[in-house]
Structure 1
């Protein structure tokens, strides 16, 4: 039995098996001849979104391993050589992947050196979410002096985007580790660059500050919230979205 099939906008003769053997095919009758239409699936619809800065290439894995070995030997010349021979030859997304992998492994001081090297790249653009991730990791490891250094680096960035999601993540980390001075300074920084706090910002600040007994700071933020929204009913609302930063999550996609 023969028929006609359509594939990529062209018609070709094909041998057709009995109808019962091909239940998935779409059959139709035309002038006594069976015809099957073969439709090509668009594979692009099945592709998962790329998560840049997350997936490690072979070169990035080798760079991580080489950096850790040089760090363990505590030899500054070896570390400098690894940066020149391994790290600085990577593509920019591999560089970010190396940074995040070092953060995931709690290689804090080494990741800070990597971050400072990235900031010297011509393509570098400051991303608040990346700063938030670093602040979270360093604070978890009790490196509060470095947390302050990282925050001050964020504050000194030129052309900082008013990224409310990123700043909310920074505020959440600073509040959770009781870094009240940096919390209040971050609020002023947001206003200075035109990043208006939203309801989530005020919930993080007011509820978080009151939970750790910082009623004076919370009172100042309450007054600001009243100016923005007129009431504070939204403080009782529950957050329905997950925290934007989680080192074990694959949802962060930093674009440079």
Structure 2
């Protein structure tokens, strides 16, 4: 019987298969089933026909199901669990002002969570946890996690990351922590920076009226090879004069004159810089 089916034309085979399904409520849908790739053959000894379908199953690595993290902005399941565990273990003590007191002020439970949950994460997940804690204003946990990240072999100090840390600490009026982070940034070897990163940091410090750090950052960026550009001078002059620091502004104006002469207009792009400050803070 099966050899007869194999030697028939496709149209005859289709009619024969539809006929074989008579009595089972499948005559009307026989053509649809055939189009879906089912194969119908008569059972042995007059038994009910067997409905078969060829299926192809493809397997792939489960790691491909998750989108890659970009700058730590997306949280994986492991990162979310780490954040939750860290917050549960947090003793709710004020954040430590120095790295030496970081380990002494943390609870044993928090240390266990860091070693068992956080330190086992991938690089991007670690950074994602840090940024999520910063977003939630978990200042003490952020400092603790940041110190652990600094111990990793892949860690590369970046001005932009320090700027994010300083922003959250300053917004929460933790100015001792701001000074600690700024000093830590200056002590880093191989600090990765760009002029935009320094300009952002200058804006943050000006917004919080940390004028000593503003002038120190202005000198520091030059000492590491990043000369201020036109935007840097405009940010400094406008920010200092807006806060009444005319003496400091005069120093910056003199430096700007040496760089650009009379061609630099400090009132230019005033609206753009002001809107940028609002976004950055």
TM-score range with shorter-chain normalisation? Answer: 0.7 to 0.9
Aligned match of 1:43: none
236-245 vs 99-108, greater mean Cα deviation: 236-245
Q: Which residue of 2 aligns with 1:186?
A: 217
Secondary structure of the corresponding residue to residue 116 of structure 1: helix
For the pair shown, the structure with the greater C-alpha radius of gyration is 2
Q: For residues 70 and 226 of structure 1, what CA distance do their matches in structure 2 show?
A: 54
Which moved further from structure 2: 234-243 or 77-86?
234-243
**1:66 pairs with one of 85, 99, 105:** 85
Q: 2:118 aligns with which of 53, 75, 87?
A: 87
SS at match of 2:266: helix
TM-score, length-normalised on structure 2?
A: 0.67
Match of 1:102 in 2: 133
Residue 165 of structure 1 and its aligned partner are, at CA, apart by 1.1
What is the CA-CA distance between 1:204 and the residue it aligns to? 1.1
CA pair 153-79 structure 1, distance change in 2 beyond 3 A:
same
Which residue does the alignment assign to 1:151?
Answer: 182
Q: CA deviation at 1:111?
A: 0.2
1:132·1:245 contact (CA, 8 Å) conserved in 2?
Answer: no
Deviations 1:234-256 (A, max 9, x none): 322226487499689xxxxxxxx
Whether the aligned pair in 2 keeps the contact of 1:165 and 1:244 (CA below 8 Å) is no
- Alignment of structure 1 residues 159-238 onto 2, 5 Å: 159-231=190-262, 233-238=264-269
Partner of 1:55: 74
Residue aligning to 2:160: 129
State whether residues 133 and 247 of structure 1, in contact with CA within 8 Å, keep that contact through their aligned partners in structure 2. Answer: no
Q: Which structure carries more strand by proportion?
A: 1
SS at match of 2:181: helix
CA contact (8 A) 2:195 2:226 kept: yes
Give the match for residue 138 of structure 1.
Answer: 169
Match of 2:4 in 1: none
TM-score computed with the length of structure 1 as normaliser: 0.73
- Structure of greater relative contact order (alpha carbons < 8 Å, 6+ residues apart): 1
1:105–1:232 distance in 2 versus 1, CA, 3 Å: farther
Taking the aligned partners of 2:110 and 2:186, their CA distance within structure 1 comes to 28
Q: Is the 8 A contact 1:133 1:246 kept in 2?
A: no
State the Cα distance separating 1:97 from its structure 2 match.
Answer: 0.5
What are the ranges of 5 or more consecutive residues in structure 2 without an aligned counterpart? Answer: 1-66, 94-105
Count of aligned residue pairs for this structure pair = 201
What is the aligned partner in structure 1 of residue 144 from structure 2? 113
Displacement, 1:76?
0.7
Cα shift at 1:73:
6.8
* RMSD (Å) for aligned C-alpha atoms: 2.3
